[in-house]
């Protein structure tokens, strides 16, 4: 089938929620994917940050093939191999005092749903029973109604009003505004939920001062700190989780994207003292933590650790930052590790750069009119960065 035929079918039978780029991608290996005409693209988007090990890593492929041939899904009413092992690996990665307990989901939004339900139940059972979740302007927490209400972006919400209640939004990095919420709503806040680096709105990091204040204010007021690490988690910033760069105490951590190397999976992890307010029947999922998803996560997390990916992210991330900063029209580079954005001046339209990049054999993303975002596989090398920069240089000039 030609690309044009695919486009016709898409237009007729798929809901028009995405403005797709004109390429039909059919296979991939490492940093590269190929389209149906055999054209190769260097991938600096990685399925929006999911392809942590690169495309079709042999260990991930083997684990999925082997598991698919044995047992794909039986549900959560039974024990299965590797589910507990993967949860134990996550607990280890999350570290700190005591164990963490995990609920497996299928997406980032579901991980955040679990996080918010858990925080409200914890507040009811163990604290003052407050139900407000405080989130930050410009955040992105998902597309379900509840995660959309948490997503403090009116343009995304207003088409679907009314939003679920119980959310208060404050500007990012505004300590006084956050303090003001606790003063205005004494004993009513269940949790502060934040992305340590806001991804979808253009890679905007929280300051260390704000993160520390969020930690202190939440805990001093009988509330929890939820870190939405759906995009920043699983080594994307050079540590297992971005909150670990700042020594703050997260109580609940939501993750997804890179956890199973591109296989759809998410997880909500919480400190055992928080997680234990759940009991059978209060939360659930049909597919979450299926045999196939768990096998994919098991292979991915082992390979990420065995192949020293965290060190690679730090080294190649610093190199990418340096090279992007020197490009023409780039006025600022933001982010950490291999989650970076390059802000271009107003003479350049970032979406046009993305379209031209596709023609030049490069998969890129623009989060706004002047923001290019880079989320390559975590196995990206300096040579890949050189190739990216060479192409970008000619596109920008
Ligand atoms: C920080 C954050 N939270 C939640 C989500 C939603 O994840 P999903 O699309 O898997 O539901 C995203 C997706 O980009 C995200 O970046």
195-235 pLDDT, tens digit per residue, is 999 999 999 999 999 999 999 999 999 999 999 999 999 99
136 lines ligand 1 (CB under 6 A): no
Find all residues with CB under 8 Å of 213, minimum gap 6, and list them. 175, 178, 179
Q: Which residue has the tokens 């045999």?
A: 291
CA separation for the pair 124, 114 (Å, rounded) = 15
Instruction: Tell me the CA distances in angstroms from 180 to 7, 168, 175, 183, 190, one per residue in order.
Output: 51, 11, 9, 5, 15
Q: Which residue lies with its CA nearest to atom 9 of ligand 1?
A: 108
Torsion of CA 41, 28, 11, 13, to 10 degrees: -170
- Joined tokens for residue 282: 């209060």
- What spacing in Å lies between the alpha carbon of 236 and ligand 1's midpoint? 14
Structure tokens at 268: 């909500």
Residue with tokens 């999925």: 64
Architecture of the structural domain at 62-306 = 3-Layer(aba) Sandwich (3.40)
Judge if the beta carbon of residue 370 lies within 6 A of ligand 1. Answer: no
Per-position b or e across 221-241, b if 16+ CB within 10 A of its CB: bbbbbbbbbbbbbbbbbbbbb
Helices 350-359 and 382-396: angle between axes, nearest 10 degrees = 110
- 306 catalytic? Reply is no
Q: Where in the chain is the domain with CATH 3.40.640.10?
A: 62-306
Q: Which of 29, 42, 27, 28 is nearest to 320 (CA)?
A: 42
Residue 220: CB atoms within 10 A of its CB come to: 9
* Cβ of residue 107 lying under 6 Å from some atom of ligand 1: yes
SS3 content of the chain, % helix, strand, coil (to 5): 40, 20, 40
- Mutational pocket test of ligand 1: of 104, 139, 142, 227, the residue with most ligand atoms within 8 Å of the beta carbon: 142
> CA quadruple 283, 161, 227, 201: dihedral positive or negative?
positive
Q: Which of 92, 111, 99, 134 is nearest to 224 (CA)?
A: 134
- How far is the C-alpha of 180 from the C-alpha of 29, rounded, in Å? 50
Q: Where on the phi/psi map is residue 75: left (φ > 0), alpha (ψ -120 to 50), or beta?
A: left
- Select from 49, 108, 288 the residue to mutate for testing ligand 1; criterion: most ligand atoms less than 8 Å from CB: 108
CB 230 less than 6 A from any atom of ligand 1: yes
C-alpha distances in Å from residue 118, one per residue of 113, 230, 269, 374: 8, 17, 10, 32
Q: How far apart are CA 285 and CA 306, in angstroms?
A: 31
Cα(111)–Cα(23) distance, rounded to whole angstroms?
Answer: 31
Give dist(CA 235, CA 218) in Å, integer.
Answer: 26
Q: How many residues does the chain have?
A: 397
Predicted pLDDT of residue 98: 85
pLDDT computed for residue 97 by the predictor: 82
- Of 43, 215, 228, 384, catalytic: 228
CA 230–ligand 1 middle distance (angstroms)? 6
Hey, what CATH class is 3-53+308-396 in?
alpha beta
Q: Residue 264 corresponds to which tokens in the numbers above? A: 């759809």
Active site residue 228: yes
CA torsion, points 93, 118, 114, 149, in degrees to nearest 10? Answer: -120
Residue 4 Cα, ligand 1 centroid: separation in angstroms? 30
Residue with tokens 């927490």: 141
> Which residue spans of the chain are classified as CATH 3.90.1150.10?
3-53+308-396
Rounded distance from Cα 199 to ligand 1 centre (Å): 9
Instruction: Kindly give the number of the ligand 1 atom that is closest to the alpha carbon of 110.
Output: 11
CA 79 to chain centre: 28
Euclidean distance between CA atoms 365 and 358, whole angstroms = 10
Phi, psi of 371 (to 5 degrees): -125, 120
For ligand 1, say whether the CB of 194 is within 6 Å of any of its atoms. no
Ligand 1 neighbourhood includes 113 CB (under 6 angstroms): no
Q: What is the pLDDT along the chain (397 residues), one digit of tens a residue?
A: 999 999 999 999 999 999 999 999 999 999 999 999 999 999 999 999 999 999 999 999 999 999 999 999 999 999 999 999 999 999 999 998 889 999 999 999 999 999 999 999 999 999 999 999 999 999 999 999 999 999 999 999 999 999 999 999 999 999 999 999 999 999 999 999 999 999 999 999 999 999 999 999 999 999 999 999 999 999 999 999 999 999 999 999 999 999 999 999 999 999 999 999 999 999 999 999 999 999 999 999 999 999 999 999 999 999 999 999 999 999 999 999 999 999 999 999 999 999 999 999 999 999 999 999 999 999 999 999 999 999 999 999 8
Q: Alpha-carbon Rg of the chain, whole angstroms?
A: 21
Choose the catalytic residue: 188, 239, 257, 391.
257
In the annotation, is 103 catalytic?
no
């Amino acid at each position: 089938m030609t690309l044009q035929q695919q486009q016709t079918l898409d237009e007729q039978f798929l809901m028009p929620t995405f403005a797709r780029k004109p390429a039909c991608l059919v296979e991939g290996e490492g940093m590269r994917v190929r389209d149906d005409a055999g054209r190769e693209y260097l991938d600096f988007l990685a399925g929006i940050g999911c392809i942590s090990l690169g495309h079709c890593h042999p260990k991930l492929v083997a684990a999925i093939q082997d598991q698919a041939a044995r047992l794909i899904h039986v549900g959560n009413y039974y024990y299965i191999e590797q589910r507990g092992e993967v949860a134990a690996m996550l607990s280890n990665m999350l570290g700190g005092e005591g164990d963490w307990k995990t609920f497996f989901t299928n997406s980032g939004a579901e991980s955040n749903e679990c996080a918010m339900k858990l925080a409200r139940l914890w507040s009811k059972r163990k604290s003052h029973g407050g139900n407000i979740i405080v989130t930050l302007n410009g955040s992105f927490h998902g597309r379900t109604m509840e995660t959309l209400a948490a997503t403090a972006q009116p343009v995304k919400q207003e088409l679907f009003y009314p939003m679920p209640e119980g959310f208060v939004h404050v500007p990012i990095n505004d300590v006084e505004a956050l303090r003001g919420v606790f003063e205005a709503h004494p004993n009513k806040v269940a949790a502060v939920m934040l992305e340590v680096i806001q991804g979808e709105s253009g890679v905007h990091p929280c300051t260390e001062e704000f993160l520390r204040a969020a930690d202190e204010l939440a805990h001093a007021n009988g509330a929890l700190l939820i870190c939405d690490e759906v995009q920043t988690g699983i080594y994307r910033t050079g540590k297992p989780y971005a909150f670990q760069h700042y020594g703050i105490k997260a109580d609940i951590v939501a993750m997804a994207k890179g956890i199973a190397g591109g296989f759809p999976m998410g997880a909500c992890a919480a400190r055992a003292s928080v997680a234990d307010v759940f009991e059978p029947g209060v939360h659930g999922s049909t597919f979450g933590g299926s045999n196939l998803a768990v096998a994919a996560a098991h292979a991915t997390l082992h390979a990420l650790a065995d192949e020293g990916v965290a060190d690679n992210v730090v080294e190649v991330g610093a190199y990418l930052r340096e090279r992007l900063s020197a490009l023409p029209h780039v006025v600022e580079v933001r982010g950490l590790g291999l989650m970076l954005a390059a802000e271009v001046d107003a003479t350049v339209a970032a979406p046009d750069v993305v379209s031209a990049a596709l023609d030049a054999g490069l998969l890129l993303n623009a989060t706004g009119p002047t923001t290019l975002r880079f989320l390559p596989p975590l196995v990206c090398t300096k040579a890949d960065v050189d190739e990216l920069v060479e192409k970008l240089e000619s596109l920008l000039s």
